[in-house]
Structure 1
Amino acid sequence: MAEHASGRLLGAADIRRIAAEAGISPTKKFGQNFVIDPGTVRKIVRAAGVTAQDHVMEVGPGLGSLSLAILETGATMTAVEIDPSVAERVPHTIAEFMPEATDRFRVVLSDALAVTPENLPDFNNDDHFMLVANLPYNVATPIVLTLLERFPNLTSFVVMVQKEVADRLCAKPGSKIYGAPSVKLAWFGEAEHAGTIGRNVFWPAPNVDSALVKFTRYEQGSLPVAEELHVDRREVFALVDAAFGQRRKTLHAALKKLVPNEAFAIADIDPTRRGETLTIDEFARLAWGVKECAHE
């Protein structure tokens, strides 16, 4: 990775000093675990393939560890931070450790689940941008799905999340951990594991392991088969939610209020199967079957 900005990344002593100076303590409320290892943040940036030409969104910059590694590539970035004291502090950290990158960095005080192209216009003129983030464990899945839904030009991401969450996001049909998040993410593109991260790179150290998820959006923005069948995301996700809401039941039982019997035949899907065995393509086909029944 070519380093464009001079300066240095944060180590454990830097993180503790900055936190002490700013009167910041990591809180469970915001799911804060600050990365204290420069090698880890560089690994995340490498996995994402960030270059000087990229515009990057970071959610939860914390004290700036990952922000500095992103800026080191020459990229431009906007960080979205929910904690007011952290949002106020992080620009000072950039100015101290990588002064020439300050004009490529902006921080916005907001909940990531509340941002839209209207209230965060930074990315509106971009054909594409990427998300690179160490996400709070408790809201990682809603954040990635919400951002993909609201920002059609969000074309890739690499996020660090709890390993269990990473496994679920990348899970395939038939596995015990395959669930609604796995299917919904597959609507937008393809996810894969991009490495595991040990606990000792964080302050405070969490009691779970972390992992990286790398995601690439479909060129057309969403599921190719859905485009062909003219089914929409809300129709498909309604079936996904119902099927996994009662995952031990057959499709026929779990979806009886949503899917007429003949729709299964039209979609060529066995109603005695369970939702956990269906691919996103099959859920889209089932939604198409429902629409076909309505037209008859």
Structure 2
Amino acid sequence: MTEPASASPTPTQAAGRLLGAADIRRIAADAGISPTKKFGQNFVIDPGTVRRIVREAGVQPTDHVLEVGPGLGSLTLAILETGARMTAVEIDPPVAERLPRTVAEFMPDAADRLRVVNADALTLTPQSLPDFNGDDRFVLVANLPYNVATPIVLTLLERFANLDTFLVMVQKEVADRLAAQPGTKIYGTPSVKLAWYGTAQTVGAIGRNVFWPAPNVDSALVLFRRHPAGAAPADRAGVSRETVFRLVDAAFSQRRKTLHAALKKIVPPEAYDRAVIDATRRGETLSIDEFVQLAAALEGARA
């Protein structure tokens, strides 16, 4: 059951209201904004859905939240409603320009807790986005464009060591791949690379009718938590991310081949013995820990 847009906030929340379908269409019309496939824009029109996303993310009033692709502000307002401060990164200039006005109209008391940056999320660095440099941790909460969802999360995790948690809404097939386990048909490069940084799980499905325009695919929520300091595979084995990811890319470039065949130009036979990994296995059967073991054996063999 969806929550009404006018539901009263709790004492820790900002006063105001969330966007409904009529609000979204009015704002788009006023600003001359039309959803485009170029930017993967599908705007959420259901207040209950954005509140659910924020609830699953566990956003607290003390959090600093990064939102990528805020669109017309549906999820933005739900995040601000918690009392958290946030930075929204929007690639489409007219949409980025309109967002502060929407927040000022629907949740004026929260306007000073929002910063909008007009940029491509794939170009973000700690230098270009200094808002988060002083934070021990921050949270990503976003309805990500389907066509670039995986590159965005992996890029941000690589560049921002203090990105501690994320809750993202993505295409269901993408969500399944991000959270997939070894030995399954959907387990692949994104699954292993995300596991390098932490643990991911799907935490719910989202129907098509909560979007405008409605997409041709279903959506799902993915919750990710970064490994605690010292608990990551790299910390335990002392190998580089570059070496591990090179092995992962090669193993899955020809996923039906055995490790021996797929990695013959990279991994010498003795490395498999050192790692205690059967070279006749396929890459799709290896966990992130086993890829790390193989990388450690490879670096040991080189040394």
Query: Which category describes the TM-score, using the shorter chain as reference length?
Result: over 0.9
- Aligned partner of 1:279 in structure 2 is 287
**Preserved CA contact (<8 Å) 2:197 2:232:** no
- Distance in 2 between residues matched to 1:228 and 1:190, nearest whole Å: 16
- Aligned partner of 1:291 in structure 2 is 299
**Preserved CA contact (<8 Å) 2:157 2:163:** yes
Residues 77-121 of structure 1: CA distance to partner in whole angstroms, max 9, x if unpaired? 000000000000000000000000010001000000000000110
Q: What residue identity is the alignment partner of 2:253?
A: G
**Preserved CA contact (<8 Å) 2:198 2:232:** no
Instruction: Select 2:249's aligned residue among 241, 250, 260.
Output: 241
Give the aligned CA root-mean-square deviation in angstroms: 0.9
- Distance in 1 between residues matched to 2:27 and 2:233, nearest whole Å: 50
1:255 equivalent to 2:255? Answer: no
1:96 equivalent to 2:114? Answer: no
- Aligned partner of 2:25 in structure 1 is 16
1:224 equivalent to 2:235? Answer: no
Identity of aligned residues (%): 73
**Preserved CA contact (<8 Å) 2:89 2:118:** yes
Counting matched residue pairs gives 294
- Distance in 2 between residues matched to 1:270 and 1:47, nearest whole Å: 40
Q: What residue identity is the alignment partner of 1:203?
A: W
- Distance in 1 between residues matched to 2:238 and 2:289, nearest whole Å: 13
- Distance in 2 between residues matched to 1:236 and 1:26, nearest whole Å: 39
3-state SS in 1 of match to 2:290: helix
- Distance in 2 between residues matched to 1:253 and 1:90, nearest whole Å: 52
TM-fit CA distance, 1:292: 1.2
- Aligned partner of 2:3 in structure 1 is none
1:26 equivalent to 2:17? Answer: no
Residues 12-40 of structure 1: CA distance to partner in whole angstroms, max 9, x if unpaired? 00000000000000000000000000000
The two structures have a TM-score, normalised by structure 2, of 0.96
- Distance in 2 between residues matched to 1:228 and 1:139, nearest whole Å: 31
Question: What are the ranges of 5 or more consecutive residues in structure 1 without an aligned counterpart?
Answer: none
Residues 243-290 of structure 1: CA distance to partner in whole angstroms, max 9, x if unpaired? 000100000000001100000000000000000000000000000010
- Aligned partner of 1:185 in structure 2 is 194
- Aligned partner of 1:151 in structure 2 is 160
- Distance in 2 between residues matched to 1:121 and 1:174, nearest whole Å: 40
Q: What residue identity is the alignment partner of 1:10?
A: L
TM-fit CA distance, 1:225: 3.0
TM-fit CA distance, 1:224: 2.5
3-state SS in 2 of match to 1:50: coil
TM-fit CA distance, 1:227: 1.4
- Distance in 2 between residues matched to 1:149 and 1:283, nearest whole Å: 18
TM-fit CA distance, 1:291: 1.1
- Distance in 2 between residues matched to 1:123 and 1:250, nearest whole Å: 43
TM-fit CA distance, 1:172: 0.2
Q: What residue identity is the alignment partner of 1:217?
A: R
- Aligned partner of 1:123 in structure 2 is 132
Q: What residue identity is the alignment partner of 2:276?
A: D
Alignment of 1:59-138 (within 5 A): 59-138=68-147
TM-fit CA distance, 1:226: 1.9
